[in-house]
Structure 1
Amino acid sequence: MRGQTISKYAAQIEDLIVIVQKLSLARNLETVMNIVKQSARQLTQSDGATFILRDGENCHYVDEDAIAPLWKGRRFPLRICIGGWTMNNRQSAIIYDIAQDSRIPYEAYEPTFVKSLLTAPIRQIDPIGAIGIYWSDYHQPSSEEIKLLQALADSTAIAMENVQLYSELEERVKQRTTQLQVMNEHLREEIIERHKAEEEVRQLSLTDELTQLSNRRGFNFLAQRELDNAHRRSYYSTLFFIDLDGLKPTNDTYGHELGDQMIKDAAHILKQTFRETDIIARLGGDEFAILTAAEEDDHSQEIGDRLLDNITNFNSRSQQHYQVSFSIGQVTYNPNSDESLDSLLVRGDQAMYLHKKNKKRIEREDTK
């Protein structure tokens, strides 16, 4: 008989080890309670088990597993509750006959199946709850059952502390993750703003402030890229090297403010004439350059006619003290050559001066 008892207790200890392992993996209170209420009945072969938590000056019967309803969800004052007595006295309550024990509020037990019970505090120093087990027949809890229930309660205390620590750690991780997300968002915004600022600086360094056309640096950058593309894809490009006639006399006679307006009007005419895909630039002073791609047909004549029409239309409507006119040098880039951009610009400049020279010769002849 004693051998059977020892064998049974050894089996219960093995069950307890498995239960403790399950509790160690629990990450929330609900999981802990489910394990405890089922395990308490399993270990003691009882008819019911309750999970009780201290709630201020009350016992809160949070959960239960029993053959019939007990007190799940109800609260009782600590001073009249056996769970409260267990917590206040930090020890197990062992009751063979609830009707004969003054600690039991009989009116709360009378509607239930309970005849005998055993409770154990969850955490023996400053208990936070208790586990109760109940029998429908009179039962004297054995020392082994008392030890098993207390061991389960002690393991429950550790599991609940782990849940609290895990919850706090998870909350800190969430907070830190949120902080990192906010920091990353701020960093992303800063990077975007920096890129915008860098782009603005780049645009300022590549753009003529007066006309908002590309400046010489911008033209060199874009034109070189266009010539490289033309060379790879074997299409011709046309460079228009343009000098704004009469800028110096306008500056000398009417001042630089009107001269600046003349430059802006010239830029506007050029933007009207050429395509958005063409590279239009003010190289400085009265000099402009336009590089056009001619992947299909040569549009040089069409461009020249359109430019002349735009100049004529502007001058006919203008109320300014000047008339816009251009001296133009037009040269072609051969993709099969190794000509550099600088060489192309030199040829364009020479062609422009030849055009200017011929215009002046014609003007002199007309005045004779």
Structure 2
Amino acid sequence: MVGSLVESDPPGVGSAIESALTFTDPAGGMERLLLAVQELSLAQELADVLRVVRTSAREILGCDGATIVLRDNDTCFYADENAIGRLWKGSRFPVDGCIGGWAMLHREAVVIPDVFQDDRIPHAVYRTTFVKSLVMVPIRRLEPVGAIGVYWAHERMPSAQEVSLLQGLADSTSVAMAHVQTISELEQRVRERTAELRSANDEIRRLSLTDELTGLHNLRGFNVEGQATLSAARDRGRDCLLAFLDVDGLKKVNDEQGHDAGDEVIADVARTLRSVLGPAAIVARTGGDEFCILVTEAEECSDVLKARLTESFRALDEAADRRHHLSVSVGVVRVAAGDCRTLQELVAQADELMYADKKAKLATQIEV
């Protein structure tokens, strides 16, 4: 305590110490404040603001501790501190129950030379700290958003000029906080806009690869996904099956019953293919009544896959609630892992086999 130093030291020594403890060089304080203002102007995040304030407040006032309080609705959040001992960093108090809140509510600085002689101070909270004197100033006097407090371990009556310097720091802090908030809002908008554009681009890409009626891949989607899947299967030494499927009599359905009926047939084909082949197969509607299929986990031979597909559509056609006759012609090619033909070449071969299947069925119908 300053008083005990004055009593025990030789004449003149206590006065010199007390003077050193209570005197702040105005020119030096102003110079440090100007430096703090420059540092605050460069702050990009709230953490940068807090760092500048907690350090410069102590250096400007020559105090033993400084804290930054932020208002959060009806509470005061002690966001940061720089002090010779632990204060209240991370704590929250009611806005009407702490001196930081008082400075905000009254929109003015408060000077307390002896914290234990002031009814505005929650004495029990301060008894565990070194604090004997303090100054608290609002951050922005018009609708304050926080406060800056400085503390001394001895009784201290700061000058009006010192309080003015601290208020100047608080005013600069309010500008820096607004600047940081603007940057944060702009960055958030950029992130949101970027996410929207990414989502839009993903949707555009999906639509460019997807058949609108069935939700399957379209021709472009089959070429992209099919080639990638085929290459991956070859790298793993896996054989594949590639099938080309054509819906029989779709033109007749369209001509006699309308395109809505034809679309219903196409949708039935797509659902059946997905049900029979599962999610691992690449299934695409590559034309009006044409479908391509690539199966990479194929343990069965081409004839078995063809028979399985044919049987599934026969069963569907025989269903009691079927409105339209449904049959398909199928061509299947087995692709060995070492087969170097392109996807388009394999599709062409499967297409030829499909036409052969269609001709064989037509020949059978003529004979009958």
- The alignment's TM-score, normalised by the length of structure 1, stands at 0.59
Per-residue deviation, 1:226: 0.6
Residue 315 of structure 1 corresponds to 317
1:290 aligns with 2:293: yes
- The corresponding residue for 1:241 is 244
Residues 322, 26 of structure 1: alpha-carbon distance in 2 compared, 3 angstrom cutoff: closer
Deviation at 1:352, TM superposition (A): 0.9
Whether the 8 Å contact between 1:239 and 1:291 is mirrored in structure 2 is yes
Partners of 1:309 and 1:330 lie apart in 2 by 15
Task: State which drifts further: 221-230 or 353-362.
Answer: 353-362
Report SS of the residue matched to 1:330.
strand
Structure 1 residue 32 displacement after superposition: 6.0
Report the CA distance between 1:338 and its aligned residue: 2.2
**Cα offset, 1:219, TM superposition:** 0.7
1:20 aligned onto 2:30: no
| 1:141-184 Cα shifts (integer Å, max 9, x gaps) | xxxxxxxx9xx97xx44433332122122222222222322222
Partners of 1:18 and 1:300 in 2: how far apart?
96
**Structure 2 residue aligned with 1:62, among 66, 91, 112?**
112
Distance change (3 Å), C-alpha of 1:28 and 1:249: same
Q: How many residues align?
A: 253
Task: Report the residue type matching 1:285 in the other structure.
Answer: G
- 2:258 equivalent in structure 1: 255
Question: Of residues 331, 334, 339 in structure 2, which corresponds to 1:332?
Answer: 334
Q: CA deviation at 1:299?
A: 6.2
Kindly report which structure 2 residues correspond to 1:53-92, keeping only aligned pairs within 5 A, or say none.
62-64=112-114, 72-73=117-118
Cα pair 1:231 1:335 within 8 Å, conserved: yes
> Which of 257, 277, 281 pairs up with 2:280?
277
Q: Distance in 1 between matches of 2:64 and 2:235?
A: 74
Aligned residue for 2:142? none
Distance 1:271 1:179 in 2: 51
1:214 and 2:264 correspond: no
Percent of paired sites with the same residue: 29
Q: Within 2, Cα distance between the matches of 1:233 and 1:354?
A: 32
CA contact (8 A) 2:332 2:353 kept: yes
Aligned 8 A contact 2:244 2:350 in 1: yes
Determine helix, strand or coil for the equivalent of 1:20.
coil
- Name the CA distance, whole Å, in 1 between partners of 2:58 and 2:22: 18
What letter corresponds to residue 331 of structure 1 in structure 2? V
Amino acid at match of 2:356: L
Alpha-carbon displacement from aligned partner over 1:304-360 (angstroms, at most 9, x marks no partner)? 454334223321225445321111110122332321111111111111111111222
- Structure 2, unmatched stretches of 5+, are 1-11, 33-54, 66-105, 121-155
Verify the 8 A CA contact 1:213 1:280 in the aligned structure 2. Answer: yes
State the AA in 2 paired with 1:20.
Answer: T
1:355 corresponds to: 357
SS in 2 for 1:281: strand
Name the aligned partner's letter for residue 308 of structure 1.
T
Q: How far apart in 2 are the matches of 1:248 and 1:255? A: 10
Q: 1:74 to 1:305 in 2, by over 3 A?
A: closer
Closer, same or farther in 2 for the Cα pair 1:294/1:73, shift >3 Å?
A: closer
What secondary structure, in the 3-state scheme, does the structure 2 residue paired with 1:329 have? Answer: strand
TM-score in terms of structure 2 length? 0.59
The answer to whether the 8 A contact 1:238-1:291 is kept is yes
In the alignment, is the contact (CA less than 8 A) between 1:33 and 1:63 conserved in 2?
Answer: no
SS of alignment partner, residue 210 of structure 1: coil
Partner amino acid for 2:118? G
State the shift of 1:282 in Å. 0.4
By how many angstroms is 1:197 displaced?
A: 1.6
| Structure 2 CA distance for aligned equivalents of residues 13 and 33 of structure 1 | 15
Matched position secondary structure for 2:215: coil
Mapped pair 1:200 → 2:203: yes
Residue type of the alignment partner of 1:346:
A
> Which amino acid counterpart does residue 232 of structure 1 have in structure 2?
D
Change over 3 Å in CA distance of 1:166–1:256 after alignment to 2 = same
1:239–1:292: 8 Å Cα contact kept in structure 2? yes
Q: Distance in 1 between the 2:189 and 2:21 partners?
A: 50
Q: d(CA) in 1 for partners of 2:314 and 2:359? A: 21
Residues 348 and 251 from structure 1, CA distance in 2 versus in 1: closer, same or farther, beyond 3 angstroms?
same
Among residues 186, 199, 208, which one is paired with 2:189 in the alignment? Answer: 186
Shift of 1:62: 2.0
Equivalent residue in structure 2 for 1:226, among 224, 229, 232 = 229
Task: Give the deviation of 1:300 after TM superposition.
Answer: 4.7
Note the aligned Cα RMSD (angstroms).
3.7
- 1:217 Cα shift? 0.7
Question: What is the DSSP-based 3-state SS (H/G/I as helix, E as strand, rest coil) of the residue aligned with 2:170?
Answer: helix
C-alpha distance in 2, partners of 1:331/1:216? 18
